[in-house]
C-alpha cells in the first residue's frame, strides 16, 4: 500500500490505506459533476458559505487534535501545526466575507451596447497536493473553489494520507454535500485518467518540478487549464545597511521553520562583504541553538524531516555541494536520534559550476554567498531557474523597494521572512510555476469569466 503514515519521529507505521478502485474514482466524478450542474448558474452560494463558516468553526474548535494528525503524518512541530490550522480557519473567514463580491457580475463599459461578465463555476478540479503543509495546501484551493461551485477531487501526498482524510471528513461534517471534496488514494495513472475525463475542467498541483511537469503534461494533452505551485531556491538579499540585530531575529523563521521544508523559505542568503562575517556568526548562533526532539513536545524547536527519503536526498545534495568545493561553515554531522533529523547546516563557497547552485535544498540547509555591490546581489538572486518568494533586508526602504522591483520573483518580502495570508496572492514565475492561489486572483483561477453581450440596434 503506497499511502501510509510513517511517523518521522518514531519511524513507526501508524496507518496504511488501500488504494482507491476505479469504481471509487467514477463515483467521485459522478458526484462532483452532479454538484457542478446544480451550482454552475450561481445557485447554492448561501449554503456553501454556511458550510465554510462551519468549517472555520470546526478547525478552531479541534485545533490541537487536527494539528497532532499533521505532526504524526509528516513530523512538523505541534505549535507550527496549530498555526497552520488557524491559518486555514482565517481562509474560511476571508472567503466567506468576500465571496459575493468576487462572484458578482462585472460590468464591461462599451459604447456598442450592454456587456457584463458572469463569474461562474467551470467544473471539477483535480488537485494534487504535497505533504509540507497538509491542511493549508488543501484549504487554499478547496475553500475558494467550493464557494465558486467547483467540486474537487484530491490526490494528496502518499506520506500524509491521514491529514488529507481528516480534512475531507471535516468538510463533510461541516455540511458539504457528497462530491464537494473527495479525497482519493490514487496512483499516478489514475490522476492522468481523471485529468482526461471531460467532467474535469481544471488541474492544480503544488509540489516539485518533477511532479509539476508530469501533471502539467497530462493537463496540456487534455487541454485543461492548470496552475502549478512549484519549488523555489529563493534569495534573501541582505543590503549593506541592514540592521544585523533585526536580521538575526528572522533567520530561524526564514530558514528553519517546518524543518526548512517550505517552498518559500529563504535558501540562498546573499550577504554584502561588510556584514558577511557577522552574518555567518549570527546564523551559526541560531542554527546551533535549536532543540531537536519530539515534535509533539512544545519545547522542541527543530522537527525531524518528513521522511527517510527526503533526508537521504538532502544529504546527497550536501555531499555533492561539498565534493564540488562548497565549505561547511556549520553542521552536516549525524544526529544521534532515531527520527529523520538533519543537523542544521550552513554552506559557503558554492560556485556557479557546483551542481547544487541551481537546485532547491528542501530542508534545514542555508547557503551563504558574498557580494560587493548591490547589482551583483540582484544578478545572483536572478541567476536561478526558480522565482518564487525572495526577501530583501535593509534600512533604506526606498533602496529595498527598488531592489525588490528588479527581482524575477512571484513574491518579495521586505524586512521580514516569508509569509502567507488569505488576501495575498501566492505563486511564482519561471520553474516555480504559474497561476496564483489565495486572494481574489487565486479565487478566480478556475472561474469561467462568461461574457454576456447585447449589442445596440
Ligand atoms: P512532489 O514529489 O512533486 O509531490 C507533490 C504531489 O504530487 C504529491 O501528491 C505526489 O504524490 C504528486 N505527484 C508527484 N509526481 C506525480 C505524477 N507523476 N503524477 C501524479 N501525481 C504526482 O513534491 P514533494 O517533493 O513531495 O513536495 C515538495 C515540493 O513542493 C518542493 O519542491 C516545494 O518547494 C514544493 N512546494 C511548493 C509550494 C508552492 O506554493 N509553490 C508550496 C509547498 C511546496 P506522491 O506523494 O504519491 O508521490
The domain locations on the chain are 3-230+432-455, 235-421
End-to-end alpha-carbon separation of the chain, Å?
A: 65
Tens digits of residue pLDDT in 285-315: 999 999 999 999 999 999 999 999 999 999 9
457 has a pLDDT exceeding 90 = no
DSSP annotation of 9? T
Classify the C-alpha dihedral 427-230-320-318 as positive or negative. Answer: positive
Grid cell for residue 245: 540585530
137 has a pLDDT exceeding 80 = yes
Cα of 207 to ligand 1 centre, how many Å?
A: 3
* Top CATH class, 3-230+432-455: alpha beta
For 235-421, CATH gives: 3.40.309.10
Distance CA 405, CA 318 (A): 32
Name which residue sits closest to atom 43 of ligand 1, judged by CA. 263
Q: Could you tell which of 164, 183, 203, 211 is best to mutate to test the pocket of ligand 1, judged by most ligand atoms within 8 Å of the CB? A: 211
In this prediction the pTM is 0.98
Cα of 210 to ligand 1 centre, how many Å?
A: 8
Grid cell for residue 165: 482524510
Query: Which ranges in 289-433 belong to alpha helices (H)?
Result: 308-323, 374-382, 397-404
Mean pLDDT of the chain: 97
Please name every residue paired with 17 in a beta bridge, in sequence order, or none if there are none.
Answer: 3
Atom of ligand 1 nearest to the CA of 437: 40
Three-state SS sequence of 405-455: CCCCCCEEEECCCCCCCCCCCECCEECCEECCECHHHHHCCCEEEEEEEEE
Tens digits of residue pLDDT in 214-267: 999 999 999 999 999 999 999 999 999 999 999 999 999 999 999 999 999 999
CB 61 within 8 A of CB 113: no
Pocket of ligand 1 (CB under 6 A): 128-132, 155-158, 188, 191, 205-208, 210-211, 214-215, 229-232, 263, 360, 362, 388, 426, 428, 432-433
Of the CA atoms within 13 Å of residue 397, those in its CB half-sphere come to 2
In this predicted model, which residue has the larger pLDDT, 58 or 417? 58
Cα of 203 to ligand 1 centre, how many Å?
A: 14
Distance CA 415, CA 397 (A): 9
Cα of 457 to ligand 1 centre, how many Å?
A: 54
Distances (CA, A) of 343 to 305, 339, 340, 447: 10, 12, 10, 45
Amino acid at each position: 500500500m503506497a499511502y501510509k503514515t510513517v511517523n518521522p519521529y518514531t519511524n513507526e507505521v501508524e496507518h496504511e490505506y488501500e488504494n482507491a478502485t476505479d469504481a471509487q474514482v467514477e463515483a467521485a466524478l459522478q458526484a462532483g459533476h452532479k454538484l457542478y450542474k446544480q451550482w454552475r448558474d450561481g445557485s447554492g452560494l448561501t449554503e456553501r458559505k454556511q458550510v465554510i463558516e462551519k468549517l472555520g468553526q470546526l478547525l478552531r474548535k479541534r485545533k490541537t487534535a487536527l494539528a497532532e494528525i499533521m505532526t504524526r503524518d509528516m513530523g512538523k512541530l505541534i505549535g507550527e501545526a496549530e498555526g497552520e490550522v488557524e491559518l486555514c480557519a482565517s481562509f474560511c473567514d476571508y472567503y466567506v466575507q468576500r465571496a459575493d463580491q468576487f462572484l458578482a457580475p462585472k460590468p464591461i463599459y462599451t459604447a456598442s451596447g450592454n456587456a457584463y461578465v458572469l463569474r461562474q463555476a467551470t467544473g471539477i478540479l483535480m488537485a494534487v497536493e504535497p505533504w509540507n503543509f497538509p491542511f493549508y495546501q488543501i484549504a487554499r484551493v478547496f475553500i475558494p473553489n467550493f464557494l465558486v461551485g467547483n467540486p474537487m477531487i484530491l490526490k494528496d501526498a502518499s506520506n500524509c494520507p491521514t491529514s488529507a482524510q481528516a480534512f475531507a471528513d471535516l468538510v463533510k461534517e461541516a455540511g458539504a454535500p457528497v462530491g464537494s471534496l473527495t479525497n482519493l488514494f490514487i496512483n499516478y495513472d489514475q490522476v492522468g485518467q481523471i485529468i482526461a475525463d471531460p467532467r474535469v475542467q481544471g488541474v492544480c498541483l503544488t509540489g516539485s518540478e518533477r511532479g509539476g511537469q508530469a501533471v502539467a503534461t497530462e493537463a496540456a494533452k487534455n487541454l485543461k487549464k492548470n496552475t502549478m505551485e512549484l519549488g523555489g531556491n529563493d534569495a534573501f538579499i541582505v543590503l549593506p545597511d541592514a540592521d544585523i540585530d533585526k536580521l538575526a531575529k528572522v533567520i530561524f523563521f526564514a530558514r528553519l521553520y517546518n524543518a526548512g521544508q517550505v517552498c518559500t523559505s529563504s535558501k540562498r542568503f546573499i550577504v554584502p562583504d561588510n556584514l558577511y562575517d557577522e552574518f555567518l556568526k549570527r546564523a551559526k548562533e541560531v542554527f546551533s541553538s535549536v532543540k531537536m526532539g519530539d515534535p509533539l513536545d512544545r519545547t522542541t524547536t527543530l522537527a525531524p524531516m518528513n521522511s527517510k527519503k527526503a533526508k537521504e536526498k538532502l544529504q546527497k545534495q550536501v555531499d555533492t555541494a561539498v565534493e564540488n568545493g562548497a565549505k561547511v561553515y556549520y553542521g552536516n554531522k549525524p544526529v544521534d536520534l532515531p527520527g529523520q533529523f538533519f543537523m542544521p547546516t550552513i554552506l559557503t563557497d558554492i560556485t556557479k559550476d557546483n551542481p547544487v547552485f541551481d537546485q532547491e535544498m528542501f530542508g534545514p540547509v542555508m547557503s551563504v554567498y558574498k557580494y560587493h555591490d548591490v547589482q551583483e546581489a540582484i544578478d545572483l538572486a536572478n541567476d536561478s531557474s526558480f522565482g518564487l518568494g525572495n526577501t530583501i533586508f535593509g534600512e533604506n526602504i526606498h533602496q529595498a523597494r527598488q531592489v525588490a522591483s528588479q527581482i524575477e520573483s512571484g513574491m518579495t518580502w521586505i524586512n521580514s521572512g516569508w509569509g502567507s495570508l488569505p488576501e495575498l496572492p501566492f505563486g511564482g514565475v519561471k520553474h516555480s510555476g504559474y497561476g496564483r492561489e489565495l486572494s481574489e486572483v487565486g479565487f478566480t483561477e478556475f472561474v469561467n469569466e462568461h461574457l454576456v453581450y447585447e449589442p445596440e440596434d
